[in-house]
């Protein structure tokens, strides 16, 4: 059931959770265990959970002795190949504590834009969920090029939520909510609720995340939230550290984007967003 307010989150049957690079790499790699604990708690009550996780390239940086995120495509692709392996190992090691098996799903933009690979991806995801496996989705950076990228995993998460008809999308970052201006500025106020179709006039959308590691920010999260909401999926933007409370439907948490009154097809959702 699609929740209409945060208190209804426990009624959601299918949830997509997106976590950014800065939340699960470098000094913050220790946040993987609490994140997995929250996902496992939802899984244990029967909820179908999909994790969309950035972080492959960022995870590889220390292993490849790089000073920061690589800028050339070939090194990005090589780093993704190394980092994705390490990242999945970390997730599975953590999930082992709960007896949950992960399934890796790597996608390119073309996979969701073309009918045949889109249907294949949808069928695979449905089967994984039916087998009670927790899919972990990321962009396939090893083969993606600048021209065929999603651009950020917030958008990927919104499209995955649309693909599988998720009831709820939770977008996690380093900041606890969307604010009327960048949260470090004086006078910034938390936006608790965004009605469907609200243009957020007068809101100064600034960046979110650890500089030089991730590719997303508040702007990409708002854009992704609108895509998902237009398809009929409720959206909550909050901090990775608050994910357990978020998935338990705690009030006064994050920013809630109300979903459209009914579900729409992919084409309809894009037109509405």
Matching residue, tokens 């970390």: 90
Q: C-alpha 230: how far from its chain's center?
A: 17
Tokens of 96: 């082992």
Using DSSP, state whether 173 is helix, strand or coil.
strand
Annotated binding site for substrate: 54, 141, 153
The CA distance from 163 to 172, in Å, is 20
Max CA pair span of the chain? 50
DSSP secondary structure code for residue 143 in this structure: T
Using DSSP, state whether 176 is helix, strand or coil.
coil
Annotated binding site: 18, 54, 141, 153, 173-174
Using a 10 angstrom Cβ sphere, with 0-12 exposed, 13-18 middle and 19 or more buried, the burial of residue 35 is buried
E strands of 115-158, at which residues? 134-139
Instruction: Report the alpha-carbon angle 46-230-13, nearest 5.
Output: 5
Annotated binding site for ATP: 18, 173-174
> For 154-193, b where at least 16 C-beta lie within 10 A, e where not — what string?
bbbbbbbbbbbebbbbbbbbebbbbbbeebeeeeeeebee
The CA distance from 144 to 147, in Å, is 8
């Amino acid at each position: 059931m699609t929740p209409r307010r945060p208190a209804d989150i426990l009624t959601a049957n299918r949830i997509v959770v997106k976590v950014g690079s800065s939340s699960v790499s470098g000094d913050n790699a220790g946040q993987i265990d609490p994140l997995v604990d929250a996902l496992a708690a939802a899984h244990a009550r029967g909820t179908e959970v999909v994790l969309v996780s950035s972080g492959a390239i960022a995870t590889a940086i220390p292993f490849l002795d790089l000073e920061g995120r690589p800028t050339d495509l070939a090194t990005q692709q090589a780093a993704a190949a190394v980092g994705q392996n390490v990242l999945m190992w970390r997730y599975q090691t953590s999930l082992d504590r709960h007896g949950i098996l992960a399934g890796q799903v790597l996608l390119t933009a073309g996979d969701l834009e073309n009918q045949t690979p889109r249907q294949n991806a949808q069928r695979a995801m449905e089967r994984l969920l039916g087998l009670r496996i927790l899919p972990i989705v990321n962009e396939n950076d090893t083969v993606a090029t600048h021209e065929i990228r999603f651009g950020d995993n917030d958008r990927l998460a919104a499209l995955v939520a649309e693909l599988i008809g998720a009831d709820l999308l939770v977008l996690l970052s380093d900041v606890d909510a969307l604010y009327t201006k960048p949260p470090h500025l004086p006078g910034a106020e938390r936006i608790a609720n965004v009605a469907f179709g609200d243009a957020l006039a007068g809101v100064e959308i600034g960046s979110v995340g650890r500089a030089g590691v991730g590719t997303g920010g508040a702007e990409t999260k708002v854009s992704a939230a609108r895509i998902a909401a237009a398809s009929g999926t409720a959206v909550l933007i909050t901090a990775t550290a608050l994910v357990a409370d978020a998935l338990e439907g705690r009030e006064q948490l994050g920013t809630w984007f109300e979903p459209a009154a009914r579900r729409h097809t992919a084409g309809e959702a894009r037109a509405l967003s």
